[in-house]
Chains A and B, each alone.
Chain A
């Protein structure tokens, strides 16, 4: 039904009427009960009131007693960068097309407010702009560098893996003066339904194999602001992967004042006793939808954990949860092979072996590239997570 090749056997005009095509981001199958689009206006994973977000754990007193505004993810990133630029003259913001506001609008208005010397475009060279950011950090700046899409971080892989990640270790006693603290590499990541091979990737596991970098994925505007501000202050370099499908979709109340969230702590989003689901970024919404259906259908109680810090990750929190529930499912968008789920699954079987009542299950991207027309089958959906819950409970 979705194969464009079919249209060639019919007349062009006939085909226009005959084929009902939709990218993964457009709607769902007509009879779908599980695979329906996330209603971001109602999901419990976002703060739909001021009161709710001001009650968030770890807020500064200033933020807790301040005002809020209802903004989306790119606006929260923008607010965090504006705050960092305003309060610390060492902060710089740069990358490809950052000056006019960025292709996802995250740096909008920053150059006007803070000037061309602190917010600027770089030539189109990822290895160049990341190397430049490392050098600026070594000489005392706190650069927030943008890689336009995470898919294009690979030219800078050498600078990240061999340089940024190893700087503190290599500099040894010199690292108290020369280090890459304050270096933040922001990059939009993840599927949007029609990004195909080079506008969809989630390369986090390629960085979790590299000691020295912190890898962070926020799931919401309030989280993005707190985690990005913490990243700028961090003594360690940070890879900050922003789920780009949430830039406009995820809207919630966010504290107007500055605050930071811890860079090494998972967050329990929902407590439960029968299964632990661990995820991060966009698939958390998928998991939330799946567990709502599963709890209703199977009468079970599911614990949902947002990993938040992908590396170094909060091993004690995960182990504690699985030791309680005895069952564990890990969900992420990127490929299953040697993905983040593999590391978590191995750790869980090592540390929770006597408590496990079912195999640790991974629901993750298929071992292929995200071909444009096939994305909805490649990336985990609600039905796949729902089925994994069922299989895990039935085991």
Chain B
């Protein structure tokens, strides 16, 4: 199977730094559309040169190709469930103790943030929330292997990415509470965060729309890379999505266009077994998402998403691969289990057994696996664990209490930023809003907005 061949090639690439690339892949940058020319069938040749499939050999065996379970793409891992390095010959990972502690701290902070914000929604303090429990390793591990200025496109369950990039709890919680400090100006649902400072594009609810956008963004980076002689500054784009989103047409469009235009983009699929209530058995019939990458001519690897060191290592190699030959897309399928409910609007025990969830929580989990590894190394213990958890809890609660007191952004914000300039029609509508709240003061509470009625009045005045 083709998938096997690519896995073998990628394994080689991963095993021996610096990255070893298979031969016959040296396509020149910007010659994306060049191909071997098709030559009509030569007399006596055993190969077909149809333009759509050059160099396909003839066969007289009438065989339909069918992938079997035996062909399933293997899952790359570094640590076992007890936090032990599996392949001792591989040696220690290329990570300092401080970095390890940092990843661990970020994962634990995210898991505590999730618990507190989930409860906040249950108490009606925020309208909505989505936790990333069980998938902290994918976000933190992958983003730790990217450059801090590699542009990122996310789905919504990648909180670890934000905090690994340097997003503060204040910033993230301000978004969830729609305060005046929310960079999104209180317009999106909670968790739909974005940060230009950290090169993370603002999340939208529409699944998979970010995938072809990531391909286009990567093409922009490819052009900039080609214009920049300093290779150390070359950048890739990374794009995260779930296995359910991969059923959208945009997934197909994105991988295909990224491959034909040779875009330096790393697609990172979080395959956590469920899309809300739909299990993967109802989502696809093939070998996960990874098997599809090969079909698009995209270098693909499957990794254990609960093994943060494996995710990190694979992403690092994928980044280098994506920058090779002037640009090429790479697909990573990170396997995990969605321990949490889909969102605060979902009770997942309506479609899966509680015992199944408890089993995953207990037996395999990215946080406990890294903790065991650090304990085995002698750099972590119960005392430090207690301290970290209590510190993280305090930090989250501090940010929470601060955001809770803040007002929503000024009301006039609702009509701004639709266009670069407020239109004549919108100005008229803002005057109508002002007149309504003045005419019916009992019907509208303007004190929840920064500046209240005065801010609205002065905006209307300024637009005259």
Contacts and interface: CB of A to CB of B under 8 A. Distances in A.
A264 B253 CA distance: 34
B31 A131 contact: no
B217 A139 contact: yes
Count chain B CB atoms within 10 A of each CB in A139, A170, A211 and give the residue with the most. Answer: A139
A136 B219 contact: yes
A158 interface: yes
Given A117-B30, A170-B204, A173-B183, A131 B216 contact: yes
Contacts of B260: 122-123
B209 A131 contact: yes
Interface in A125-179: 125, 127-141, 143, 155, 158-159, 162-163, 166, 168-179
A128 B31 contact: no
B253 A135 contact: no
A242 interface: no
Interface string B183-223: 11101100010111000011010100101111111111101
Nearest to A159: B209
Interface stretch (B350-358, B398-406, B416-424): B416-424
Interface string B216-246: 1111110110100000000001000000000
Contacts of A130: 212
A126 B249 CA distance: 10
B450 interface: no
A131 B261 CA distance: 14
Interface in B244-258: 249-250, 252-254, 256-257
A125 B257 CA distance: 9
A127 B249 contact: yes
Interface string B266-310: 000000000000000000000000000000000000000000000
A172 B182 contact: yes
B33 interface: yes
A137 B211 CA distance: 14
A281 B215 CA distance: 34
A132 B257 contact: yes
Contacts of A140: 220, 224
B203 to A, nearest CB: 9
B213 A134 contact: yes
B194 A139 contact: no
Contacts of A177: 196
A338 B2 CA distance: 52
Given A127-B249, A163-B209, A174-B202, A122 B30 contact: no
A306 interface: no
A373 to B, nearest CB: 34
Nearest to B29: A117
A218 interface: no
A341 interface: no
A173 B175 CA distance: 12
A134 B196 CA distance: 16
A134 B210 CA distance: 9
B188 A170 contact: yes
Interface string A169-192: 111111111110100000000000
A138 B217 CA distance: 7
A139 B221 contact: yes
* Residues of A in contact with B, size category: 35 or more
B424 A132 contact: no
B32 interface: yes
A132 B216 contact: yes
B250 A127 contact: yes
A380 interface: no
A211 B254 contact: no
B201 A120 contact: no
Nearest to A115: B30
A122 B419 contact: no
Count chain B CB atoms within 10 A of each CB in A162, A172, A312 and give the residue with the most. Answer: A172
Given A135-B220, A173-B183, A312 B213 contact: no
A316 interface: yes
Count chain A CB atoms within 10 A of each CB in B32, B253, B261 and give the residue with the most. Answer: B253
Interface in B419-445: 419-420, 423-425
B216 A171 contact: no
A138 B201 contact: yes
A315 B223 CA distance: 41
Nearest to A313: B425
Given A170-B187, A170-B202, A171-B194, A159 B212 contact: yes
B419 A236 contact: yes
Contacts of A162: 204, 206, 209
A61 interface: no
B151 interface: yes
Interface residues of B, number: 53
A211 B426 CA distance: 10
A312 B257 contact: no
A235 interface: yes
A236 B419 CA distance: 6
Contacts of A131: 209, 211-213, 215-216, 250, 253-254
Contact of A174 (B195, B213, B250): B195
Contact of A128 (B218, B250, B419): B250
A271 interface: no
Contacts of A264: 423
A129 B257 contact: yes
A10 B253 CA distance: 51
A139 B254 CA distance: 16
B384 to A, nearest CB: 37
Nearest to B227: A89
A127 B202 CA distance: 20
A298 to B, nearest CB: 34
B418 A211 contact: yes
Contacts of A178: 194, 196, 201-202
B422 to A, nearest CB: 10
A181 B420 CA distance: 9
B123 to A, nearest CB: 26
Nearest to A133: B216
B184 A170 contact: yes
A132 B211 CA distance: 8
B418 A120 contact: no
Contact of B223 (A123, A141, A176, A236): A141
Contacts of B419: 168, 211-212, 214, 235-236, 312
B224 to A, nearest CB: 8
B167 to A, nearest CB: 12
Contact of A163 (B213, B237, B261): B213
Count chain B CB atoms within 10 A of each CB in A116, A174, A177, A236 and give the residue with the most. Answer: A174
Interface of A: 92, 99, 115-117, 120-123, 125, 127-141, 143, 155, 158-159, 162-163, 166, 168-179, 181, 211-212, 214, 235-236, 264, 312, 315-316
12 contacts: A121-B33, A123-B257, A128-B257, A129-B253, A131-B212, A135-B153, A135-B237, A159-B250, A163-B209, A168-B419, A170-B187, A170-B204
Given A140-B220, A211-B419, 15 more contacts: A122-B261, A132-B253, A135-B153, A139-B220, A139-B237, A159-B250, A163-B206, A166-B204, A169-B417, A172-B183, A174-B196, A174-B202, A178-B194, A212-B419, A316-B424
Interface of B: 29-33, 151, 153, 182-185, 187-188, 192, 194-196, 201-202, 204, 206, 209, 211-221, 223-224, 226, 237, 249-250, 252-254, 256-257, 260-261, 417-420, 423-425
